[in-house]
Every structure is written in C-alpha cells, then in structure tokens.
Chain A
Amino acid sequence: MNLDEALLAFITESKDLLDRMEEALLQIEQHPDDAEIINAIFRAAHTIKGSAGIFGLSGIVAFTHVAENVLDEVRKGHIRFDADLANLFLAVGDHIHALIGLLADGHEADAARLAHGAALVERLEAVLGHPAAADATPADTRTLTETPEGGCADTEHWHISLRFGRDTIREGFDPLSFVRYLTTLGEIAHIVTLTDNVPALSDLDPDECHLGFEIRFRSDADKAAIEGAFEFVQADSFVRILPPRSHIRDYKALIDALPESELKLGEILLRCGTLTRAELDAALDDQTVASLEGRPVEPLGALLVERAQVHPEVVNAALAKQSKVREASRGTDTNLLRVDAAKLDHLIDLVGELIIAGAGAHLVARGHKAKDLMQATSAVMRLMEEVRDSALNLRMVQIAGTFNRFQRVVRDVSQELGKDIALQISGAETELDKTVVEKLADPLTHLVRNAMDHGIEGAERRAAAGKPVQGTVRLHAFHEAGQVVIEVSDDGGGLSKERILSKGIERGLVTPDAALSDKEIYNLVFQPGFSTAEQISKLSGRGVGMDVVKRAINALRGTIDLRSTEGVGTTVCIRLPLTLAIIDGFLMGVGKSAYVVPLSMVVECIEMSRLQTDGKDWLDLRGEVLPLVRLRELYNIAGDPGRRQNVVVVQGSGKRVGLVVDQLMGELQTVIKPLGKVFQQVRGIGGFTILGNGSVALLLDVPNLVTQVADANARSLGEEAHNAPSSLLHTS
C-alpha cells in the first residue's frame, strides 16, 4: 500500500466515523447519559485523531484533540452531554468533515475555514472551563497539562517507536543502519528490540523484515532531523516519534496505534524508562476505550485483579459487555470488504459481455441443431445468469445510509423553521444500486425540505386542526415488482387541488377547460415552470423546483408521483429500477436496425394498419391525440415500410408518443452500455446493447425523444394543439 492509498483509506474511514459520530450525536439528545453512545462519539474522534497523526495532518490532530478532551470529560461524568453540547459537536463534526474534504481534494484550509475552526476550539475550551489560550495552538500539549489524566511524562528523552515494513530489507535497507544513524544524532539511552515479532527459523523468509524497536533517545536535534532519519522507510514502516515531555495521552495513543498488546508495550515503555509506573498507569486508565476498539482485554483484566483494584466479578461483567460490543461491531464492520467501485463495474461489464457471448453460442448451437450442444449451452446460460445476478448484487447497498443522513437534515431544518418535526424511517434495509442511492440524495433532500417547509403547518394550525403538535416526515422504502419504491410523506396540510389547478392555468400549463384527473392535477407540480416565486423560501427555494427532482428521478429511469389529501398530508412516491446496468427492454425492428426501449415505459402496442392515417404525424387514440414518431424517418433508415406497421405507445416525462416501427420483437433483459464519446451529443439515444446474434441495438432515450417531439409539435401544431390540449400534457 503506498501512501496515497493509505491516505485515501484514511479519508474514507474518517468519513465513515464522522457519519457514525453524527448518528450518535443525534441519539444523544434523547439519551444524554448513555455511556455507549458517548463512547461511540469519543471513539470516532479518538480514531480520527490517531490516524491523522500517522499522516502528520497536524491541523486535524490539533482540532480533534480539543474535541477529544471535552469528550473525555463527558465520559468521566464531569460534563453532561446536553443539547447545546450536541449542537456544538455537530458543528465540530462538520468542521472535521470539511477538513477531510479539503484533504481529499488536495486543498489547504483557507483563512475562513481556519477561523471557523479557531472559533469552535474556543467554544470547546469554554466548555472545558479553560480560557482559550491566545496564541497556543491546541496541539500544543503543554497548554493542556491540566487534563485529569496526569499531564506530561517527566522525561528528558525522546521516544521512538519503529516497526519496519516487511519489504524494508528487500528494498535494500538495513534496519540496523537506522539505529546506527540515530547514534550520530544523539545517544540511545535504551533500546528494546521486539524479538517476539521475529518468527521461528522454519517460518522465516530471510528477505522479510520483522524487526521493531522501542527507543529512548537523548538528543538535542529537532523532530524534523530525527524524522529525517526514517524518511526512506516511512511509507511502509511504522515510525512514531514522541518529543520529550509529551502528554501522557500521546503515549497512550502510541500504545493504541502499535500492533502489540497494550500490556506488553506498557512494560516495554517502562523498561525503556520512558514512562514511570505511575505515568503508565495513568495512560492505561484509558483502557476502556481501547478495549471497546476490539483489542484483547483479558491481560488488563487480569492485571487489575492482580493488583487487587477490582473485584473479579466486576471485571468479568465489564469484559462480557465489551466482548458483546466487539461482537456487534464485528458483525457489521469487519465482514465488509471495501472494493473500488471501478473494479466492480468492470466485473459487471465482463459478466454482461459473457452473457451476450453465451447467448450467441446458444444461438449458434440452435442453428446447427446440435441437441447436446444446446443442452450444454443452456446449462451454461443458466449459470451465467446466476453469476450476473450475484455480480449485480455486489453493487446493492442498503438505503439506510442515505435515509439516516436525513436525521440531521430534519433536525437542522426544523430548528431553522422553528417547527417541531420528527423523522420516521422505515424499510431502511431495502437494497438498491449504489449509483442510484448516490444520485437519490439530492432529490430526496429537496423533497424532505419541501415537506418540512411547505407541507407541515405551524404549531397553532396543527393544534387547531386537532393534530399532534409535532409534525412527522416519513421516509419509507420497499421492493415492489422488481422496482424499489421510496416514499416521502408528511402529515401536513396537504395540497389544495384548486390552487394547483388555478396556478397551472395561470402558468399556461393547462387550459381552463381541460378535464384532468386528480392525479394529473397533483402531478402538475412536477411541470417545469410550476414552482413560483411565492413558493421560494430560504430552505427549499434555491431556484430548484419539483421539475428538477422529477428530471433527476427520470434520469435514473424512475418515475415520480404525488398524492395528497387536503388537511391530512402529502406523499411523494418514487419508483426506481433495481439497477441501472441491466434493464428489461422491449425490442423493436425498423428495416434491419433494432431499437430498445425500457419496458417500463411501454404503455401499449397498436397495429398500425387498422388506424392508419397516411402522412399524418398524429393518431387518434381513443379520442386522444397521440403524436407519432416514425423511427424510419427520424433515423433515415433505407427501405420501404412494410404493409403492416406497429405503433408502440411510450410514455416519458409524463407525455405519450407513438413510435412507428416495422416489427415488434418482444421483451429482453439486457445489459446497457454507454455510447462512446463521439456520440454523446446525439439526442434521443441513451446507450446501446449487443443482441445475442451479435448485432447492435440502440436504446432510445424516451423522455428526451418525447420532449423533442413535444417541442416540435408545439411549434408546428399551434392550432391543433389548442384543440387537443391534453395530448401534450398527458400525465398518468
């Protein structure tokens, strides 16, 4: 693992930890004294600080350090975790998040960010009861000597921990030479070689390095000079250098970071003379934290009993609790594997190719009428489909991650609005494609904010309507018929049909005499241009209307619907395909070309001869005008149309058009591939797929096509459109 990869892992891990911290912070308001939640918060800060230290990210270390101090006081029961503190820590979490975000983008924190951090540090210091030191950075442990853990170690020596990387020798370095070099910088007061890490001879690869040292070092050199000694091995090896008189806490962090057991390390530090027994005891006082992190706790337990400080029963109980915690976290965390999404995509891509190739083989076998071969290929096909399903499954993630983010959104927004609103989440275990989940965050945020801002009424109005004063926003997800359904609902005032309709008429979206169903009226809010000035507030305004939400959902090949009962509430229902990589398609032929549309968008198929109206580009479909798109003309396909043509009625962006094609070729399940860069400007084509016989079929981008046609019709059909207004606005 090179440094960049390690840093990347740190960034990902930290973001995870921050998410967990936020989750815990949101819980703590209800349970301010729950030790486990407090520990979870502490652990997140602690781990981030520790890892950031390894990378020398002093800004993050410094900031997190202060936060950790406060949390430590909380854990000790000196400070209570009230709502104000939770608020402060949410801000702290955001700030760390921002710092890590900057790191990920390779930017430095700017002055504003730093000032923000300093302000937070000041608030944290105030909580601690320290006056904010004017010039000292919070990283400077000397300003923190009053923390109850006993302050700084009383030693004039540096302490250096070295664990060489496996490849150190192979890369041409001699571990001894580093120690020798140290002797030129100062004097090695004591060195302990971790001989236990060296395997027995039969297990030893003599090229691998298993050596590690703990060194107490006397030197007048500065840290940079000492660090410089290990510059060449720093990437692969573990090097920690603690200056003289470091804070006990830092020694503790060192013990935590090293792979050996705490007790052993503690003894080594004693042997080195770096710490005194009392100082070590102070450091190991933090043991609870470490054991919650999944380290073996037995040695400590034994130690405590030995020293007759604790009754065995108490230790046993504590150990049982800790191992339970460990078990639980193991269940969720350690069985997971982080894989680069690109690798996964590549695998799915290959599986897609494999299926296509397999289908081709099957076709050839059929062509040769070789029965045994056909049998063999069908068996292979079946297996390949299973492989495909499990490969696609790899991309599936629970929507819980996205849903839980809204706890914070709802909390913040309700504070901003001064409304009391609770969030209810159900079906969070529902799985869907990772890409879809990621792209859902924005539209969902908009919907939730919208529900809170416009949906839920103020407290008086709620009370007057006989509703509970606390409003509720619900996020609900479930699987239905091969789709994922996500509902965002509120128990607010609902939408007034009359007002929507009148606004729709006012905006020119419908004509006054149009007969629209309730559903059609509600779905007017998704029309571009419906969002009005009076609707834009600080929160949900932002110039983004529901039409943008709808477009985002459509881009995921999903649909969005709204239903509402006045006075009772509103529910927005989003339906999404399980995955983007594979679709159920409907195959159509024009001349020698083949086209695919997503099956979910096909409304019906009509035989053309019966209804044929020559030359017209619309069709009277049970009294409604259906614009026609002749694919033969649209794509300039040579040859004459056959005598019998078919119309495939498709629906996209809430409008319907009829696609005129030669042949209906039935359903297929297919892997969609994106078009190359050259074709990215082509409108109306969403991708392509390779058919079993090796030929290419283009995937029609129905919403885009429909919009194109609607625009063209609106221009050319001016008069006609007026006579049949609902045709262009046929929502369903």
Chain B
Amino acid sequence: MSKPLVIEGELTVFTAHALKAQLMQALADAGPALQLELSGVSEVDGAGVQLLLATLREARQRGAALDLIAAPPQLTEALRLIDVAGEFAGRATPETEPVA
C-alpha cells in the first residue's frame, strides 16, 4: 500500500483545483486503496466536502477504496452536518477512525 496523501491547510474552494490534480495523481498511483492524511487540514467548506465526495466516487469507479485518516474536528463537523460521514466510513478501522 502506497503512502497516504497528506493534505494540509485549506480544503476549500480556493484550493480545490490544486487538490483535484493531486488527488487524481494519487488515485492513479494508489492501487487498491488511497489514504488521505487530513490532520493538517485547517479549514473546510462545501466545495471541499464535494471534492472528497467526488474523490470517493472516482475511487469506487476504479475499484479502489478511500480512507480518511485523522480528520480534524472542523472536517468531521462538516461531514456530520450534512450526514455524509458514513459515506467514508465503509472501511473504517479503529486506526483510521476520524480523530474527533
């Protein structure tokens, strides 16, 4: 399994384009599972959540899994707000459980 992709700073509309390129690349390299290391994420908005949802969909289409690791409180809050946290919990293991 390849190394997790580390996302830091904003996960928002302002970084979405740059992150999309990174995520596409990571998906291409990742093989059967992609892990996103999110502990450094400082800010999340709707565009950021949408980006994660799109990444999840892309991963599923490629038959890969997507795990979110160490999601910070602002991210878990956003995912819970619109009740999509469960979407990412498919392969959740104790180690990958969001750090709330």
Contact = CB atoms under 8 A, between A and B. Distances in A.
A195 B17 CA distance: 20
Most chain B CB within 10 A, of A177, A203, A211, is at A211
Contacts of B82: 176, 179, 191, 193, 211, 213
B83 A193 contact: yes
Interface in B35-77: 45-47, 49-51, 53-55, 57-58, 61
Given A201-B57, A202-B24, A207-B16, A176 B81 contact: yes
B81 A206 contact: no
Contact of B46 (A174, A192, A199): A174
B54 A201 contact: yes
B24 A176 contact: no
Nearest to B46: A175
B51 A206 contact: yes
B55 A201 contact: yes
A207 B47 contact: yes
Contacts of B46: 169, 174-177, 209, 211
Interface in A99-123: none
A665 interface: no
Contacts of A206: 13, 16-17, 19-20, 47, 50-51
A678 B46 CA distance: 58
Q: Is the interface of B mostly helix, strand, loop or mixed?
A: helix
A202 B21 CA distance: 9
Nearest to B18: A206
Interface residues of A, number: 26
A654 B58 CA distance: 77
B40 to A, nearest CB: 19
B45 A195 contact: no
A191 B80 CA distance: 10
Given A179-B82, A193-B84, A199-B57, A204 B49 contact: no
Given A191-B83, A206-B17, A200 B47 contact: no
Interface in A168-195: 169, 174-177, 179-180, 183, 190-193, 195
29 contacts: A169-B47, A174-B45, A174-B46, A174-B47, A175-B46, A176-B46, A177-B45, A179-B82, A180-B81, A183-B81, A191-B83, A193-B83, A195-B53, A195-B57, A198-B53, A199-B57, A200-B57, A200-B58, A200-B61, A201-B20, A201-B24, A201-B54, A202-B24, A204-B50, A206-B16, A206-B20, A209-B46, A209-B50, A211-B49
Interface of B: 13, 16-17, 19-20, 23-24, 27, 45-47, 49-51, 53-55, 57-58, 61, 78, 81-84, 87
Interface of A: 169, 174-177, 179-180, 183, 190-193, 195, 198-204, 206-207, 209-211, 213
Given A176-B82, A201-B58, 11 more contacts: A174-B13, A175-B50, A176-B46, A191-B81, A192-B83, A193-B82, A195-B53, A201-B57, A204-B20, A206-B16, A206-B51
